[in-house]
């Protein structure tokens, strides 16, 4: 009952516990004095001073000892209380921090889950030996596998045979050299066909500086590769087509620079591709032919069409008669001259031969006419 009364008094008086302690000691002294007085009356029939003094001193000594012990205990309790309060405050702060961190982590995981489930690129995490330890769900629409089907396996197990030998050291190079690497290769899908991927491989370092994981980000580039291959086939076909032409083929821009030519052009002129790239049409002619060709090129860009006959001068100084034709076309909105040159050597030879034959025939005809005139005169003379 006493503790409850003390607590009640403490609440009523709103005093510190030490004050309550001194009040309790005072009340205890008063009670001791009353008890000693009562005992003196009981045993001696009167209140004796010596008996009272002895009782009071004894009570005071005992009280002081009790007070000393209680004060020590109270200091210990107060110190312990302070420590517990500080620990409780620290614990509450730690709990709050952990709760905040858990909420942040949960939100981050949820964001990452949503991003990884809806992203097109394939993101994977590998151990230093390149084994899959995490695969995003985008692997299913890209390759047909589930993430679980790839865990514990290595990418090389799915490489095209042509790419396995070339790209097998890639992950090892990243793990050892601790540098990023980018590669394009074919990988086998679940249904057996191959898909072109472009992958960025990046090392993840631990606090000790060693590679603890390898991250790879892959993108499907099949359409791009197929488009490049189709364009390459088209270019090769175009190149083979113009190289098979019997004459000189050329494509000239409006600045008078060769943009395209066939192998026949290089063979006839003796110029290298590097020299052709900086040459102008007039560089292959001399004298009046140079001015003629320059004028005909201008006509093509202004009037749309032109022809010319001129002697082509090769790098070694040899001249060859050529017949040139040019026409204006537009590519990507820009005007170009496209044309061909045909060797006129055989034609010139044939023309010269025909001309010589004509001269022989004409001379024979003259002689024949002269003979006819002589015969006529002889006939007339004999007839007379």
CATH number, domain at 309? Answer: 3.30.450.20
Same domain, 38 and 95: yes
Same domain, 88 and 137: no
**Residue 369 domain flag:** no
Same domain, 339 and 279: yes
Q: Which domain holds residue 183?
A: 120-228
**Residue 112 domain flag:** no
Same domain, 135 and 206: yes
Same domain, 124 and 224: yes
Same domain, 221 and 252: no
Last residue of a domain, one of 195, 228, 261: 228
Same domain, 219 and 255: no
Instruction: State how many domains the chain has.
Output: 3
**Residue 240 domain flag:** no
Per-residue pLDDT of the chain (384 residues; tens, 9 = 90+): 444 444 554 454 445 555 555 555 555 555 555 555 555 555 555 555 555 556 556 666 666 666 676 677 777 877 878 888 888 888 888 888 888 877 776 776 666 566 555 567 899 999 988 899 999 999 999 999 999 999 999 988 999 988 877 766 566 666 666 677 888 899 999 999 999 999 998 888 888 888 888 899 999 999 999 999 999 999 899 889 888 888 999 999 999 999 999 999 999 999 999 999 999 999 999 999 999 999 999 999 999 999 999 999 999 999 999 999 999 999 989 999 999 999 988 876 766 665 665 565 566 566 556 555 655 665 555 555
Same domain, 149 and 221: yes
**Residue 339 domain flag:** yes
Three-state helix/strand/coil letters over the chain = CHHHHHHHHHHHHCCCHHHHHHHHHHHHHHHHHHHHHHHHHHHHCCCCHHHHHHHHHHHHHHHHHHHHHHHHHHHHHHHHHHHHHHHHHHHHHHHHHHHHHHHHHHHHHHHHHHHHHHCCCEEEEECCCCCEEEECCCHHHHHCCCHHHHCCCCHHHHECHHHHHHHCHHHHHHHHHCCCEEEEEEEECCCCCEEEEEEEEEEEECCCCCEEEEEEEEEECHHHHHHHHHHHHHHHHHHHHHHCCCCEEEEEECCCCEEEECHHHHHHHCCCHHHHHCCCHHHHCCHHHHHHHHHHHHHHHHHCEEEEEEEEECCCCCEEEEEEEEEEEEECCEEEEEEEEEECHHHHHHHHHHHHHHHHHHHHHHHHHHHHHHHHHHHHHHHC
Same domain, 134 and 63: no
**Residue 178 domain flag:** yes
């Amino acid at each position: 009952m006493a503790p409850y009364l003390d607590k009640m008094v403490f609440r009523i008086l709103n005093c510190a516990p030490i004050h309550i302690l001194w009040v309790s000691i005072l009340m205890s002294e008063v009670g001791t004095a009353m008890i000693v007085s009562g005992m003196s009356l009981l045993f001696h029939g009167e209140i004796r001073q010596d008996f009272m003094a002895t009782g009071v001193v004894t009570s005071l000594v005992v009280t002081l000892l009790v007070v000393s012990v209680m004060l020590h205990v109270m200091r210990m309790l107060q110190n312990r209380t302070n420590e517990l309060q500080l620990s409780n405050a620290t614990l509450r702060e730690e709990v709050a921090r952990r709760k905040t961190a858990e909420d942040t982590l949960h939100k981050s995981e949820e964001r990452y889950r949503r991003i990884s489930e809806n992203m097109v690129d394939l993101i994977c995490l590998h151990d230093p030996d390149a084994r899959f330890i995490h695969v995003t769900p985008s692997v299913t629409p890209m390759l047909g596998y589930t993430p679980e089907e790839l865990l514990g396996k290595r990418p090389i197990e799915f490489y095209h045979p042509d790419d396995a030998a070339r790209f097998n050291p890639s992950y090892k190079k990243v793990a050892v050299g601790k540098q990023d690497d980018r590669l394009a290769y074919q990988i086998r899908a679940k249904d057996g066909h191959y898909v072109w991927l472009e992958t960025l491989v990046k090392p993840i370092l631990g606090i000790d500086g060693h590679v603890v994981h390898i991250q790879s980000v892959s993108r499907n580039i099949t359409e791009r590769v197929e488009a490049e291959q189709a364009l390459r086939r088209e270019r090769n076909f175009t190149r083979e087509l113009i190289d098979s032409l019997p004459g000189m083929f050329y494509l000239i821009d409006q600045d008078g620079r060769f943009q395209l030519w066939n192998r026949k052009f290089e063979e006839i002129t003796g110029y290298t591709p590097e020299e052709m790239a900086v040459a102008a049409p007039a560089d292959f002619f001399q004298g009046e032919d140079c001015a003629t060709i320059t004028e005909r090129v201008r006509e093509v860009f202004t009037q749309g069409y032109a022809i010319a006959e001129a002697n082509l001068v090769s790098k070694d100084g040899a001249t060859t008669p050529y017949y040139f034709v040019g026409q204006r076309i537009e590519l990507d909105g820009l005007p170009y001259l496209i044309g061909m040159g045909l060797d006129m050597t055989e034609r010139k030879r044939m023309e010269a031969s025909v001309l010589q034959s004509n001269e022989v025939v004409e001379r024979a005809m003259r002689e024949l006419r002269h003979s006819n005139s002589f015969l006529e005169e002889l006939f007339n003379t004999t007839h007379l």
